[in-house]
Chains A and B, each alone.
Chain A
Amino acid sequence: MNLEVENLRVYYRTLAGDVQALDGVTFGVGDGEIMGLAGESGCGKSTLGNAIISLTGRMKYIEGSVTLGSAELPIWDFDEMNHHRFNDLSIIPQYAMSAMNPTRKIGKMVGELLDSKGVRHKEYIPELKRRFELVGLSQDVLNMYPIELSGGMKQRAVMVISTLLDPSLLIADEITSALDVSTQKAVAEMLVEFRERGFVKSMIVITHDISILYQVADTILVMYAGKLAEKASADTIINSPRHPYTRLLISSLPEVGVTYTGKRLTGIAGTPPALLNPPEGCRFRDRCPFAYEKCLEEPPFVEIAPGHQTACWKEI
């Protein structure tokens, strides 16, 4: 395992109390694995991504451990994490345009970034140029301000910059969601290529679009209301999901290549519970058509088949 997360709990501090956004999650990401992380907004997927890389502001570390390679990450200590960020683990944020300093030329910005990490940036410039070339950006980009690049160029530049030091783990947070279908495909395939070329060892791809994950991810982890619902290979999650939430979610997605005349898909009734005071037991209980008395107790997240884990009493 490259990344191991053990019983991680992260809350948000609010005036009304703690929002239990990430409530005890345990999972691993193997060497060379692209793990997709899916779920509705507010399910904790971005919180999980952010918790691993930079716990800021209102986020409060409660308990749990994150191990990358053989070393435990001090995720509770923002300053200590500076030694790991960018070197060992990196993130591509959703809006690449706001990730770059508008007042610096891109080459200078990268230089400053590398210097701040104690790396002699001159040594990395040839490699940076090579990788820019690889994603279709010319060397001239180094002498440009971010405003001179188009949206897609910025996105690619950020992808290259954040993986420049070959981090062990890359977190891609909703990087395809604001794009057109064709660009989505290009960016998603580029992620896979980065892995093939060894720029990153493993990846967590966070998105609400599960069909993108089916295309690029090896495994998919589905979250619901701050907890893990199901994890399995991408094929299993799409073709034979076991958790009722995953099943309903997948059956509610319209597809091309299917004729819908007269046929109707159904959504999932209700809304996810508020995480300020989450209900006891299974958090999907109120929306679940299969719920029964046992669901008042919290289901454990256990393996039901090799490589397939889920948290549902009906499946255990």
Chain B
Amino acid sequence: MSGPQNDARDNGEAGLLKLDHVTKVYSTGTFGGGQLTAVRDVSFEVKPGEVMSVIGESGSGKSTIGKMILRLSPISSGTISFDGTDVSTLKRRALKEYRRDVQGVFQDPFSSYNPIFKADRVFAMVKSEFFPGTSGPEWRNKIGLALEAVTLDPTQVLHKYPHQLSGGQLQRLLIARALLLDIRFLVADEIISMLDASTRIDVLNLLADLKGRGLGIMFITHDLSLGNYISEKTVILRRGLIVEMGETQKVFGNPTHPYTKMLLASVPQLHHKWEEIAEGLKVPDSVVIDKEAAAKKTYETVSEILAPDADDSVLVETEPNHLVRFSPEEAREIEPAAVAGKTE
């Protein structure tokens, strides 16, 4: 099909992880009568050695995408494929093999560990689950290499309880745990947000190093400045829908969708005050539906005050490797040909 996912494939290299029209519907309410579409028709792919930022506010569905990739949550429709294999069909052995390739690290390092056991127990669990045959010295050597990759000093972190280590150290231990499995894809869900400013950048740089080793990374965040720093490609999600995606430089340099503009205008910058940046990122009055809340600043997410994207809206490539969601009418004005084949 002629979708954005094909356009994104520019240099001929095959995608490592591919989402194809993925939708997730949660049942809500006491008897599951209600339905909440958390992710709507999301398609993108991540190549080896590439970091894809998935950015959105709370409730945008960014974590749900991560969970579906990690097989922690089933997909309602669409497919996620890894290396050409449909992930949702994997069972038992094949699923275990998949987990060797794809791992996740989550937001709160303190709740990822059992406080009763020493932190390096996470390594022992990997050994018993995946490497039962590996000899002790060989395993210790492997741990040494993994710790080196995340720039941790073994004497400082091994045989310690979680409370004796800092958030940055715990988070890096979890990444090292993922590396023990020789993973090829990492889902990093808000892994920086609980860390202190002075250690944040080290963990970000660590991700950049891993990318250099050919790892594909999905970097889920609500912090646009982190996404801008680390990723080649960016997906902006709003209420489960991709509103803008493409090369990070293009999405951040030439934000087009009103939602992206509003998000960017809210980021506290270090050298420009909000008033200065607001001018350049102004959105047309017509898309602001709740003008009172916008003026009084009483909204909780930008989504609330902006007109929703129509059900028949489409992603249009406004420049190479930069896709923006438009209503069909707007899309026709911009690129009549693009709309014709895209009534998905």
Contacts and interface: CB of A to CB of B under 8 A. Distances in A.
Contacts of A248: 198
B149 interface: no
B197 A208 contact: yes
A271 interface: yes
Contacts of A136: 292-293, 296, 298
Size band of the interface chain A makes with B: 35 or more
Contacts of A150: 300
Contacts of B58: 180
B150 to A, nearest CB: 14
A211 interface: yes
A253 B225 contact: yes
Contact of A183 (B196, B200, B300): B300
Contacts of B264: 256
Given A186-B297, A186-B299, A255 B271 contact: yes
A135 interface: yes
The listed residue with most A CB atoms (<10 A of its CB), out of B198, B202, B301, B302, is: B198
Given A136-B296, A255-B228, A255-B271, A180 B252 contact: no
A181 B201 contact: no
Nearest to A238: B270
Q: Give the interface SS of chain B, mostly helix, strand, loop or mixed.
A: helix
A268 interface: yes
Given A136-B296, A180-B222, A256 B267 contact: yes
Contacts of A267: 198-202, 205
Interface in A220-274: 238-239, 248-250, 252-261, 264-268, 271
B223 interface: yes
B297 A256 contact: no
B274 interface: yes
The listed residue with most A CB atoms (<10 A of its CB), out of B228, B264, B268, is: B268
Nearest to B272: A257
B249 A261 contact: yes
A152 B304 CA distance: 13
B208 A264 contact: yes
A8 B115 CA distance: 35
B274 A185 contact: yes
A182 B224 CA distance: 11
A181 B300 CA distance: 10
B114 interface: no
Nearest to A186: B297
Interface in B247-299: 249, 252-253, 262-264, 266-274, 277, 292-293, 296-299
B309 interface: no
Contacts of B20: none
B229 A215 contact: no
Nearest to B156: A271
B57 A182 contact: yes
Interface string A8-49: 000000000000000000000000000000001100000000
Contacts of B223: 181
Contacts of A289: none
Given A214-B273, A253-B201, 13 more contacts: A135-B296, A137-B298, A181-B222, A182-B57, A186-B297, A209-B197, A210-B270, A211-B270, A214-B268, A252-B197, A254-B230, A261-B249, A265-B229
26 contacts: A135-B296, A136-B298, A151-B300, A180-B301, A181-B57, A182-B263, A182-B266, A184-B266, A184-B268, A185-B268, A188-B268, A189-B274, A211-B268, A214-B270, A214-B273, A215-B274, A239-B271, A250-B270, A252-B200, A253-B197, A254-B204, A254-B229, A255-B228, A256-B269, A257-B272, A265-B205
